[in-house]
Amino acid sequence: MSESITQQKTDETAPTSGGFSFGELIRSPAAGAFFGMIIVFLIFSLFGFQRNFLSVGGLANWMNFASTVGIIAIPVAFLMIAGELDISTGAVLPASAMMLGITSGHYELPMWLGITMTLLMAAGVGLINGLLVTRTQVPSFIVTLATLFAVGGLTLALSDALINNTNVSLYSPDWAKAIFGTRYFGFRTSVFWWLALIVVFFFFLHRSPWGNWVFAVGGDAESARNAGIPVNRLKIWLFILCSVCTALAGICQVVQFNSAQSATFFNMIFFTIIASVVGGVLLNGGFGSVVGVVFGTMTLGIVQQGINYTEIDRNLSLLIIGVMLLIAVLMNGTFQKLATSWSTKKDKG
């Protein structure tokens, strides 16, 4: 029973190993995101050519933006595939930055200890989210909305109480700068963290039994539970993963810019969800891919930063993102039907 559920989900979301097939690409969750990214890239290359959009600096600019979003977006997508949602990332990101800034900046604790405390704090938030969702059956949107404001409020209150300020400076040692906060050929270290996580997360979702569990839970949680999949435990770990990755992005930011602020990043909530949906993840779960989310994140980065290399009004970037999101939502259902019909035909054959 478990094998049939997980195999069906794998067939719908991952290509076969028999080699590349254009037809398989069309039916994959990443299809719309891939073609969308190519179209957006070509448009901005045309209009931004004279302003060096295609230069290494231009590439680094939108990749640096995309990396911060991307580190968080893939774990958010995992939760969406599993039928859940985490919007507390907008508060966990500044809370993590402030945690490291206060512990290793203001109180001058060793950097490794500050990083460890920051990651543990984020894991605690994720654990609370996971336990509340699985034990109370309250929708994850409501639970994480509550923790968004709770963590945001605590960050402001504790910052004011501990350092009498909502901003903090941090001067990191050379090893921390090299790992979390410098640039290589114009690219921030967050880009390399993102690339490494893409590889790890791809194997987790598409090449491991745990990835099959994620798809099975998102497709039908009750059937997955009856098949022996530890649904609640899996969701709790996904919430923890989401918060820890958000903390990693926060650590990279505070080390990169030598300062942190406690204001909640509401934009990050929308950016991660938009990157996931544009990347082919369905809002009702059970369908998506790591590669698609990567394409969606890159598309978002191109629009958000690439518009500065063109004559297009900067204010229109939000309009473009909104149109992309609407098109993605309309198209994702089509790609899911294509994948499902292909999987059915394959089983009959």
User: Which pLDDT tens digit goes with each residue over 164-222?
Assistant: 998 999 999 999 999 999 999 999 999 999 999 999 999 999 999 999 999 999 989 99
CB 189 within 8 A of CB 181: yes
| Residue 23 belongs to some domain of the structure | no
Phi, psi of 169 (to 5 degrees): -100, 150
Please state, rounded to an integer, the average pLDDT across all residues of the chain. Answer: 86
Query: Cβ distance 225 to 231 under 8 Å?
Result: yes
C-alpha distances in angstroms, 51 versus 58, 261, 306, 308, 310?
9, 32, 10, 9, 7
Q: At residue 5, does pLDDT exceed 70?
A: no
- Domain range enclosing 65: 2-6+30-338
Q: What is the pTM of this model?
A: 0.87
Does a structural domain hold residue 284?
yes
> Average pLDDT in the 134-155 region?
95
| pLDDT (0 to 100) of residue 339 | 55
Is 22 domain-assigned? no
Residue 137 is assigned to a structural domain of this protein:
yes
For residue 349, the model assigns a pLDDT of: 52
Distance between CA 38 and CA 60 in Å, rounded?
A: 17
Any domain includes 123: yes
Say if 21 falls within a structural domain: no
Whether residue 190 lies inside any domain: the answer is: yes
- Two tokens at 124? 């605690």
Give percent of the chain above pLDDT 70.
Answer: 86
pLDDT tier at 338, thresholds 50, 70, 90: low
User: Can you give the CATH number for the domain in which 65 is found?
Assistant: 1.10.3470
Q: Which pLDDT score is estimated for 157? A: 94
**Res. 304: pLDDT tops 80:** yes
The answer, yes or no, to whether residue 253 has pLDDT greater than 60, is: yes
| pLDDT for 10 | 44
User: What is the count of structural domains for the chain?
Assistant: 1
Return d(Cα 211, Cα 231) in angstroms, integer: 12
Confirm if 63 and 191 have CB atoms less than 8 A apart: yes
pLDDT band at 235 (very low <50, low <70, confident <90, very high): very high
CA dihedral 155, 161, 163, 166 (to 10 degrees): 40
Each residue's pLDDT tens digit, 44-103: 888 888 888 888 988 999 999 999 999 999 999 999 999 999 999 999 999 999 999 999
- The pLDDT score that the predictor gives to residue 340 is 55
| CA 293 – CA 272 distance, rounded (Å) | 9
For residues 114-133, average pLDDT: 97
Q: 43 or 347, which is more confident?
A: 43
16 within domain boundaries: no
What pLDDT does residue 218 have?
A: 92
Q: What does the pLDDT average to over 289-307?
A: 91
Higher-pLDDT residue of 217 and 348 is 217
Start-to-end C-alpha separation, the chain: 21
